[in-house]
Amino acid sequence: PLYRPAPERYDAMEYRRTGRSGLKLPAISLGLWHNFGDDRTLDSQRAILRRAFDLGVTHFDLANNYGPPPGSAELNFGKIFAQDFAPYRDELIVSTKAGYLMHPGPYGEWGSRKYLMSSLDASLKRMGLDYVDIFYSHRFDPDTPLEETMGALASAVRQGKALYVGVSSYTSEQTAEAARILREMGVPALIHQPSYSMINRWTEEDGLLDTLEAAGMGCISFVPLAQGLLTDKYLKGVPEGSRATQGKSLDPNLLSDEVLRRLHGLADIAQRRGQSLAQLALAWVLRDPRMTSALIGASSVTQLEENVAALAGAPLSDEELKEIDSFAVD
């Protein structure tokens, strides 16, 4: 049946300005890394995407290689987009990336102009879009001049194939240099996409948010729930069908007694706040106003709803932050 988005979709969501740009992003964005490949039904994908938009989640994040198999998340998204979301293109921020292995041969990964430009064309074709809102260099390429990689991003903007550009998992130093090069080309760097969660704080040690602030860039953090570790899901063992059972990116051996002790400590703090562990984890990632968005994954509508409801929680107090550190930091 025809999709009619909820008229109240903009009432509750919080939107944050991305660095010093004109673009606002929802505080919670939805990523299609898992749960949108050919291993999931189109109906379950459609239900998650529709509910997200109904809740004001205006940003969907993809990459050339999301699946499985690589490319299928963009194809599936494209099918659902054409049927459900095409009339709302101007209300949506769609991103894609190139950097990881997409096809064999010397032009199938990393950061050459050859790979980035052809990959973006292929992504647009798969999704059935004329342009993406944000195109990312998915990872820093130590062997390609940064001028070439950033030059490809700038070309994508000039050709109208991307409105904005960003980088993912670049260090603070690499980011500052990328931003400088892009500025000189007249194409500002919009955003950085790093991993960040209560149990993954490399960006803090690297001073990334300060670098981004100086460069006028925003920040959207991926894997804020540590792929599900920072939710109530694994507190009582590993449930059937969860990501840790799928032999993919989440190793069930991570769930040692010591890790479980820490997760239970964090879950107790969440419970005292009337939140789930996932909601605490998201409130924590978003506690700095320079953080533009937390980029979550969800395998069900229920998870998505629980995660978006994190935004209704009280701000974290200094005591709570200290207590979180006592469990989350080694």
> Restricting to residues 135-154, which ones interact with ligand NDP according to CB under 6 A?
138
The answer to the question of residue 193 lying near ligand NDP (CB under 6 A) is: yes
The answer to the question of residue 119 lying near ligand NDP (CB under 6 A) is: no
State both tokens at 58. Answer: 């205006």
- Nearest distance, CB of residue 1 and ligand NDP, angstroms: 26
With CB atoms as reference, the residue minimizing the distance to ligand NDP is: 297
The answer to the question of residue 65 lying near ligand NDP (CB under 6 A) is: no
For ligand NDP, the binding residue among 134, 275, 299, 328 (CB under 6 A) is 299
The answer to the question of residue 243 lying near ligand NDP (CB under 6 A) is: yes
For ligand NDP, the binding residue among 55, 179, 226, 283 (CB under 6 A) is 226
Stretch that binds ligand NDP, among 6-14, 114-122, 200-208, 300-308 (CB under 6 A): 300-308
The answer to the question of residue 61 lying near ligand NDP (CB under 6 A) is: yes
CA–CA distances in Å: residue 76 to residues 40, 41, 60, 287? 10, 10, 13, 33
- Nearest distance, CB of residue 39 and ligand NDP, angstroms: 11
60: burial class by Cβ within 10 Å (0-12, 13-18, 19+)? buried
Task: Return the bridge partners of 166, or none.
Answer: 136, 191
Stretch that binds ligand NDP, among 8-16, 20-28, 204-212, 298-306 (CB under 6 A): 298-306
For ligand NDP, the binding residue among 34, 113, 126, 262 (CB under 6 A) is 34
Q: Which residue ranges make up the site for ligand NDP (CB under 6 A)? A: 31-35, 61, 138, 168-169, 193, 222-228, 231, 233, 242-243, 278, 295-299, 303, 306-307
